[in-house]
Amino acid sequence: MSDLTYEARRARLEPLFESARSLLDPSSERGRHARERLVASSGLSPAGVDFALQRCLEIAPSEPEISALIRSTPTAQVAHVLLSANVFVAAHRAIAIGLAASAEVRVRASRREPEMAELLLAGAPGAFRLVRELSPSAGDRLWAYGSDETMADVATTLPSGVALHAHGSGFGVAILDGMPDESDLGTLLGGLAEDVALFDQRGCLSPRVLLVNAEPAAVSALARALARELEQLARRVPRGQLTTQELSEQAKYRDTAIFMGEVFEAGPGFVSLGEQGRWLLPPTGRNMHVVATPDPLAMLAPYRPLLTSCAFAGEPAQRQALSRALPGARVCRFGEMQRPPFDGPVDLRET
Amino acid sequence: MTRNAQSDDLHRAVRRFATGDRSRSFSELALEIAAFQRQFSAGFARLCKSRGNSLTRVDDIPGVPCDAFRLARVALHPESEDRLRFFTSGTTSGARGMHAMRVTETYHELALQFGRSALLSNERPHHVVALAPLLDEPPTSSLGHMMAMFMVDFEQRGPFDVRTHERWLIDDRGVDLTALERAAERATKRGETLLVLATSFALVGLLDALGERTLPLPAGAVVMQTGGFKGKTREIEPSELRAALARAFCIDHARIVGEYGMTELTSQMYEASVPGSALARERRGQSGVYAEPPWLRVVPVDPSTLEPVPHGEVGIARIVDLGNVDSALAIQTQDRVQRVEGGIVLLGRATGAPPRGCSLAIEEFMASVAR
């Protein structure tokens, strides 16, 4: 069987899936060990690490999803994977894409956070190689994940003939097109709070802004309710440690937001309320900016290249319009922003 | 009393303070202005409330983040009363902020008074040129406006049109070295003191254009250097730049004087280094140490808590500027500073938290939106 047949590519994925599954049980030796290491490296709280593993690690992707992942992944002589830090579960999907591309997969983990790649390899020995430096040659492919700055550096140093799939920085938004009834609203905001809290908002899928098509007074009440949801969630899943720089960014954001409008304490973070048309991108660390707008799609227009994910609640026709307007973003339901289908890279923007 | 009447009173009090009237102390004036701003600025009132509404000490006055100038109007008066509007040039993060002024006299008097003190080193007539693009009309750059004011005031020959290419020595092709040489020759011939007002990136451009050559300035010439590089040119360490400029202009290091100003402020700080200047006589400052005028105070604060740090420790600068009567008395910058004897050492800008993982950093966001 050739390395390039669908069956061969599919077979290479199974040991990785098994390795991921074996991390999930916190009472197992491997699950306990994984949690200890990930808490130490990620900056998340122990509950935050467990929450992320339970909610976001794809342990049972469906066959149609796996099929889509394989069919959308080009093959390569050698697949190189450059991982970013913090959204540790992302290593699983990134390595899966590498395995779908080639039988020879070399992975360079983030220096700051190599744990997840090492844990996956320990559970699937020989499935891929962990290397200190990547040295791709012509005919190889490199999947790179990280900040735009890192992507720019990678692009300028890559030998010719190497295909680069660069997935840089981004952020998510949520859109509430109209006010749902109270019970639905609670579910939606609870889901959004989880989307925010996962990875303490450090991922490119993490929502930072909520656009609401409703009267300003209702939106103010909604912002307050979101703050309450975040506060309650933080009791169950505390935020981890922020760096001094992150705390500084948060202090600056908080005071800027206070100067511009209402701000609600949301446990360890804040929910700010913006005037119509005023965007304020909160820093990571469980902060959300809420804006009332009669036309959320129009408000998104300038930010399209930056958007990786968009949670939507509202009329189906509007959702379709949103999907057309944001072909590079994954449009999903509230509470599912951090769990996109396992059908390829989470970042669908053109690379 | 109406808002404008209160504002006018405060402006007058600040101008009197600047000329030596100490019937009200810095703290008293600052707290009066803060109370005035709390009354008429909803944003500032919210900031005060978030700090418990206590305005009993200067350290209690919350700083308005510079970002607010980019995202909202920071002025107590309506747009119709603006007499000057200065725009930020856009830092690495892209978006531009605006500082609107209703009363220009205070800005002019404060800038001129401390500028004279820091930059004028003798009684001889001065000739002033700027390594900056021709000033626009109306002026939108606070720095350009200040340079134009210095040209008229320091030359002491009455009002004249400063908008000529003999004064503003940068165009699309870069620094006009020939024009600078002509200015130097003119000053030498006429026995004038040449004052060159320049941004750091213009000076780097000049050094690049000169290469190994020198462009000797007349004895007694002073070069005022201000601002960062803002990604417009290669960056050079301040001490290295100063040494290179001293070499290129054949002048003493002490005659290259740093100025610190911001669009969001009314007042400026200077190094007290120019021999013979009033500021150097008063403060005997060292190179790299910026002296505050009596009407401005820098409070280094902890970047996370925004509380003042112990004396001598590094913090980010909260700047309390009595000149900002109608905007924001206290500005919270991201500039890292340290208080030392004689003033403040600038340690560069605290950059935003680097993106961990693939989350978008705020600076990336602002830059992307501005493009």
The DSSP secondary structure of B268-286, one letter per residue, reads -EEES-STT-HHHHHH-PP
Summarize pLDDT for B209-231 with one digit per residue, the tens: 999 999 999 999 999 999 865 55
Give which of A154, A255, A265, A273 to mutate to test B binding, by max B Cβ within 10 Å: A255
Give which of A259, A287, A299, A346 to mutate to test B binding, by max B Cβ within 10 Å: A259
Superfamily of domain A6-167: Aldehyde Dehydrogenase; Chain A, domain 1 (3.40.605.10)
Total length of chain A: 351
Q: Which domains does chain B have, with CATH numbers?
A: 1-77+295-371 (no CATH), 105-285 (3.40.50)
Q: Show residues of chain B in contact with A208, CB under 8 Å.
A: 360
The CA angle A183-A48-A266, to the nearest 5 degrees, is 50
Q: Does B247 touch chain A (CB under 8 A)?
A: no
Helix (H) or strand (E) holding B193: strand B193-199
Task: Tell me whether 0.95 is exceeded by the ipTM.
Answer: no
Of B63, B71, B350, nearest to A278 by CB-CB distance is B71
Cα A208 from Cα A195, distance rounded (Å): 10
Q: Judge whether residue A172 has pLDDT over 50.
A: yes
Please give the backbone phi and psi of residue A165, each rounded to the nearest 5 degrees, phi first. Answer: -115, 95
Q: Does A152 touch chain B (CB under 8 A)?
A: no
The stretches in chain B having pLDDT less than 70 are: 90-95, 228-234, 351-359, 361-371
Give me A102's structure tokens: 């080639």
Q: Show residues of chain A in contact with B43, CB under 8 Å.
A: 258-260
3-state secondary structure B196-247: EEEEHHHHHHHHHHHCCCCCCCCCCCEEEEECCCCCCCCCCCHHHHHHHHHH
Q: Are A178 and A320 in contact (CB under 8 A)?
A: no
Chain position carrying tokens 């000053």: B187
Residues 71-130 of chain B with CB under 8 A from chain A are: 71-72, 74
Indicate the pTM of the whole model.
Answer: 0.91
Q: Between A and B, how many CB-CB pairs are < 8 A?
A: 136
CB contact under 8 A, B68 and A256: yes
Summarize pLDDT for A201-241 with one digit per residue, the tens: 998 999 999 999 999 999 999 999 999 999 999 999 999 99
Superfamily of domain A172-332: Aldehyde Dehydrogenase; Chain A, domain 2 (3.40.309.10)
Helix (H) or strand (E) holding A80: strand A79-82
A7 to chain B, closest Cα gap in Å: 32
Cα A9 from Cα B34, distance rounded (Å): 68
Cα B68 from Cα A260, distance rounded (Å): 7
Chain position carrying tokens 């003939």: A161
Summarize pLDDT for B3-37 with one digit per residue, the tens: 999 999 999 999 999 999 999 999 999 999 999 99
* Torsion sign (Cα): B291, B297, B301, B303: negative
| Residue ranges covered by each domain of chain A | 6-167, 172-332
